[in-house]
């Protein structure tokens, strides 16, 4: 069951990782949110990323995303 949930989480993360580099930036997050019909400011997007960023690079890795989901 955990593998199914992690696979689903990976699909969500990959949707936001627009350039496929394994990291989600505030700009990528904003782009996908916009495509989904909502709006978020640059500072709101960066705030979200920063809230799960454990290593201070101001980007979100899958490991950070997964940890946030399981926190």
Q: What is the pLDDT of residues 5-54, one digit of tens each?
A: 999 999 999 999 999 999 999 999 999 999 999 999 999 999 999 999 99
* pLDDT computed for residue 35 by the predictor: 96
* Total length of the chain: 71
Helix (H) and strand (E) counts for the chain? 4, 2
pLDDT of 2 higher than 80: no
Please tell me the pTM assigned to this model. 0.92
pLDDT of residue 55: 97
Given a contact cutoff of 8 angstroms between Cβ atoms, the answer to whether 48 and 59 are in contact is no
d(Cα 54, Cα 56) in Å, to the nearest integer?
Answer: 6
Domains of the chain with bracketed CATH? 2-69 (1.10.238.10)
């Amino acid at each position: 069951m955990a593998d199914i949930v992690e696979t689903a989480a990976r699909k969500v993360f990959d949707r936001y990782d627009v350039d496929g580099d394994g990291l989600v930036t505030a700009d990528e997050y904003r782009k996908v949110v916009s495509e989904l019909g909502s709006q978020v400011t640059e500072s709101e997007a960066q705030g979200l990323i920063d809230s799960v960023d454990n290593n201070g690079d101001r980007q979100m890795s899958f490991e950070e995303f997964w940890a946030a989901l399981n926190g």
